[in-house]
Each structure stands twice: as C-alpha cells, then as structure tokens.
C-alpha cells in the first residue's frame, strides 16, 4: 500500500523517475518472494508504464515481457481459498500486461 501511495505522489508531482527508482527497489525486495509471481509481475507492469511515459519504449516492452514470463509461472487452478482475490488480480494484471506489451511493439 505504501508503494502505491509513493507512486501516486510521484506521478501527481510529475516525478516519474522518482517512482521508477522506488519500483526498482521494490523489485529487488520481491525477488526473494519467489512464490508471489503476480506481485512481481505487477511491479514489472508499473515499471513498463513509467518507461512508456518516459518514451523509452524498448525498456517498457522488456518489462512487459518479463511480467508475462512471470505470469506463466502462476498456477491459477491451484490457488488456495484465501487467494481468490489473487486470481482476479492475476487476470487483471495479465490482461493489462498483454495490452501494454502490444502497444510498445
């Protein structure tokens, strides 16, 4: 939640590079949470959006592709009862990632 607030603040104040630096730090932390592919993919998707905003389309496409690769590791059929919201999140992130990857090409 705190990360989302920092990102929102950075965008409202037209500081995408600040948001990008925080996302990269978050990504370093998430690398250790190998079970949560959806969350890490979401971070790559946010990085993708910022690079697109900065008109760095190749970097943006690279992060969209990384997110798609991570999402392929998610076993949606075997999500636990407590992860049903995660399933909705998974499909939302997957759809947005495909969309962003396509527009960056």
Going by the DSSP 8-state scheme, the letter that residue 101 receives in this structure is H
Contacts of 13 (CB under 8 A, 6+ apart): none
Q: What is the pLDDT of residue 51?
A: 95
Distance CA 102, CA 1 (A): 28
Q: What is the pLDDT of residues 23-80, one digit of tens each?
A: 888 888 877 765 678 888 888 999 999 999 999 999 999 999 999 999 898 877 766 5
Q: What is the pLDDT of residues 6-34, one digit of tens each?
A: 777 887 888 999 889 888 888 888 777 65
Could you tell me how far CA 4 lies from the centroid of its own chain?
12
What is the pTM (predicted TM-score) of this model?
0.82
Could you tell me how far CA 53 lies from the centroid of its own chain?
15
Sign of CA dihedral 98, 100, 101, 105: positive
Q: What is the pLDDT of residue 96?
A: 93
Q: Write the class of the CATH domain 2-104.
A: mainly alpha
When pLDDT is averaged across residues 94-103 and rounded to a whole number, the result is 92
């Amino acid at each position: 939640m705190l990360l989302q607030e920092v990102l929102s603040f950075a965008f409202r104040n037209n500081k995408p590079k600040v948001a990008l630096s925080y996302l990269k730090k978050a990504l370093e932390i998430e690398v250790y949470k190998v079970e949560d592919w959806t969350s890490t993919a979401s971070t790559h998707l946010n990085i993708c959006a910022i690079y697109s905003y900065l008109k760095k389309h190749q970097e943006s496409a690279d992060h969209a592709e990384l997110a798609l690769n991570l999402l392929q590791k998610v076993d949606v059929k075997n999500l636990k009862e407590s992860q049903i919201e995660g399933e909705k999140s998974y499909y939302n992130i997957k759809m947005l990632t495909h969309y962003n990857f396509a527009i960056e090409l």
